[in-house]
C-alpha cells in the first residue's frame, strides 16, 4: 500500500483528500503546514506527496524545493486553485500538476501515473 502525504492548509480539503484517497487504497497522512509536513516526513517514509501551492503565510513552492532537495526519491504533485502556476518555472520541479476540483478523478489519475512511473524507475534501478 502506497503512503501519501497530503499538505493543505484547509482542514476540510485535507479531510476530503484523505477520505477519497483512502477509498483508492492509499494510506494517507495529512499536514496543515510546512512545519507539520516536515515533522511527518521526519518520522515516516512516504511514496508521494500532494502539496497545495498556497499555504497560510507560506509557499508550497518553497516546500517543494526543499523536498526535491532532501527527498529526491519522493515524487511530488502540486495541487492548486490557480492554473497559472502550471507555467511557473519553479513549479516544473514537481512531477505533476493538478488544478483543484471537486472532481478528484484527475488527481487520482495523476497519483496513479506518478506512482507507476516511480515503480518503473525503481524496477529499472534494481
Which residues are at the interface with another protein (CB under 8 A)? 10, 12-13, 16, 19-20, 23, 54, 81-84, 87, 99-104
82, β-bridge pairs: none
Evaluated on CA atoms 15, 21, 22, 26, the torsion sign reads: negative
Q: Which is nearer to another protein, 12 or 126 (CB)?
A: 12
* Smallest separation (angstroms) from another protein to the CB of 101: 6
What b/e readout covers 1-18, taking b as 16+ CB neighbours within 10 angstroms?
A: ebebbbbbbeeebbeebb
Nearest residue (CB) to another protein, 18 versus 93: 18
Of 7 and 74, nearer to another protein (C-beta) is 7
Nearest CA to 60 among 98, 99, 90?
A: 90
Shortest distance (Å) from residue 57 CB to another protein = 15
> Rounded to the nearest whole angstrom, what is the least distance from the CB of residue 8 to another protein in the complex?
9
Amino acid at each position: 500500500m502506497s503512503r501519501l502525504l497530503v499538505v493543505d492548509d484547509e482542514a476540510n480539503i485535507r479531510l476530503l483528500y484523505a477520505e477519497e484517497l483512502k477509498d483508492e487504497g492509499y494510506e494517507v497522512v495529512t499536514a496543515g503546514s510546512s512545519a507539520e509536513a516536515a515533522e511527518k516526513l521526519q518520522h515516516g517514509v512516504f511514496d508521494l506527496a500532494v502539496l497545495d501551492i498556497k499555504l497560510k503565510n507560506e509557499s508550497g513552492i518553497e516546500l517543494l524545493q526543499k523536498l526535491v532537495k532532501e527527498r529526491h526519491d519522493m515524487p511530488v504533485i502540486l495541487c492548486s486553485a490557480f492554473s497559472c502556476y502550471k507555467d511557473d518555472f519553479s513549479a516544473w520541479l514537481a512531477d505533476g500538476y493538478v488544478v483543484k476540483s471537486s472532481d478528484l478523478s484527475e488527481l487520482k489519475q495523476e497519483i496513479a501515473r506518478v506512482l507507476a512511473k516511480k515503480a518503473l524507475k525503481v524496477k529499472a534501478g534494481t
